[in-house]
Amino acid sequence: VINHLIWMIQEFDIDGLRLDAIRLMKIDFTSSLKAAIQRKVTTTGILFYMIGETFTGDMGWEEIGDYLGESKLDGQFDFPLYHHIVRTFLLQSEDFETFTEFLKTNDYRYQNDFYKGSIMGNFIGNHDVARALSLANKDFDGVSSQGGAEADQKVWENSPKLPEEELPFKKMRNALTFMSTHPGIPIIYQGDEFGMPGANDPDNRRMALFGDDLSENQKENLSHTQILGNFRKKHQALTHGTRKNLAVSENIYAFAMIQGDDTVIALFNNGEDEEKIKLDLSELKLSGKLETLFSGEEIDAKNKIEITLEPFGAEIIYN
C-alpha cells in the first residue's frame, strides 16, 4: 500500500493525503508511510501534507493529538473546532464570547501539548455528519452540531429540501469566511462550497451539482467560496500569520491575521440586527488605504475605523 501511494504521489503530483479513521489503523502504518514520504518525496523540495480523521466530540484533543508529530501526521480534522463553528455560526446556540474562549484553548492544545508544527484542518461538514446548510436551516433539533436523532431519521423520510430563504446561506457564508481566515487549512466537503442540503449518511452524499442546476443562493455561495480561495493565495497572513482579537461581544467578532507587512482583518456579525463595529487599529500600525474584499470599498487606515455589517454579515479588510 505504501509503495502504491508513493507511486501515485510521484505520478500524479498529489499534494497531500487524507487518512480516514486513523485510530482504527496500527500507528506503525502511519509512521512508515510518513518515513517513506520524507525519504522519497519531500527530499526533492516538495511540500506534502498528511491529514488524518479521528472523529471526536468538542473536547477530543487527546484522541486527535496522539496522531500528530514529526514522524506521524502533519494535521488532523479539527473536530472540537467543527462543533463550535456549527454552534456559533450555523445554530447560534453559542455566542462569540464563548467561542473565542474556546479558541484560546484549542489553539494552545495542538501546538503546545502535541506537535508544534501541526497544521489543523478547518471544516464545516464531512461524510459523517448532517449537511451544514440543513443545520443552518434548523431542519433538525436546532441544538446539536450533528443534527441529533432527527438527522438520522430524516435520512430515509422527510429529507431536508433546498431552502428558499437566503438566511441559512448567509450563515454558511460566515462559517466559510471564518474557516478560511482562521489558522489552519480550510477543508471543504464537496457540496459545502455552494450549500447542499442533507441529513446524515447517506443523505449527506447526494450527487454533485454544477452550473444552472444550482439555485441563485447556491451560486452566490459558490462565488463567495471562490473569492475566499483566491484571496488566500495572495495573503501569507492567512496561512502563516498569528491572530490578534480586535473586538469580541455576544454577536460581534473581529480579529486580525498578521504576517510581516501583510495584515488581514476579519469581521463578523452573528445577530439579526445591523451592527456598527468600531475598531482601534493603532497597534497594527497600518498606513495608506485599506480595501474591503466583499464590498470593494476603500478605507483610510486611521487608528479608529467604523464598519457597518448587515445581519449575519461578514467583511474582510486588508492592506
167-220 pLDDT per residue, tens: 999 999 999 999 999 999 999 999 999 999 999 999 999 999 999 999 999 999
Q: Is 276 helix (H, G, I), strand (E, B) or coil?
A: strand
Q: What is the pLDDT of residue 46?
A: 76
145 neighbors 91 (Cβ within 8 angstroms): yes
pLDDT at 152 > cutoff 90: yes
Distance between CA atoms of 41 and 43, rounded to whole angstroms? 6
Cell of 277: 463595529
Q: What is the pLDDT of residue 214?
A: 98
pLDDT at 279 > cutoff 90: yes
Distance between CA atoms of 156 and 158, rounded to whole angstroms? 7
Distance between CA atoms of 178 and 186, rounded to whole angstroms? 9
Q: What is the pLDDT of residue 43?
A: 77
pLDDT at 45 > cutoff 90: no
For the residues 309-319, what does the mean pLDDT come to?
Answer: 96
Cell of 54: 479521528
Provide the 10 A C-beta neighbour count for residue 266: 24
- The beta strand positions in the chain, using DSSP E, are 16-19, 49-52, 75-76, 121-122, 185-186, 242-248, 252-259, 262-269, 275-280, 289-292, 298-300, 304-309, 314-318
pLDDT at 287 > cutoff 90: no
pTM of the complete model? 0.95
Percent of the chain with pLDDT over 70: 100
Q: What is the pLDDT of residue 142?
A: 87
- The beta strand positions in 40-170, using DSSP E, are 49-52, 75-76, 121-122
- Among 41-45, 216-220, 278-282, which stretch is predicted with the lowest mean pLDDT? 41-45
Distance between CA atoms of 129 and 141, rounded to whole angstroms? 14
Q: Is 146 helix (H, G, I), strand (E, B) or coil?
A: coil
197 neighbors 158 (Cβ within 8 angstroms): no
Q: What are phi and psi of 265, to 5 degrees?
A: -110, 125
Distance between CA atoms of 244 and 242, rounded to whole angstroms? 7
Beta bridge partners of 141: none
pLDDT at 270 > cutoff 80: yes
pLDDT tens-digit profile of 99-123? Answer: 999 999 998 999 899 999 999 999 9
Distance between CA atoms of 162 and 168, rounded to whole angstroms? 10
Distance between CA atoms of 292 and 14, rounded to whole angstroms? 34
Pairing status of strand 262-269 against strand 252-259: antiparallel
297 neighbors 306 (Cβ within 8 angstroms): no
Q: What's the mean per-residue pLDDT of the chain?
A: 95
For the residues 63-67, what does the mean pLDDT come to?
Answer: 95
For the residues 274-289, what does the mean pLDDT come to?
Answer: 92
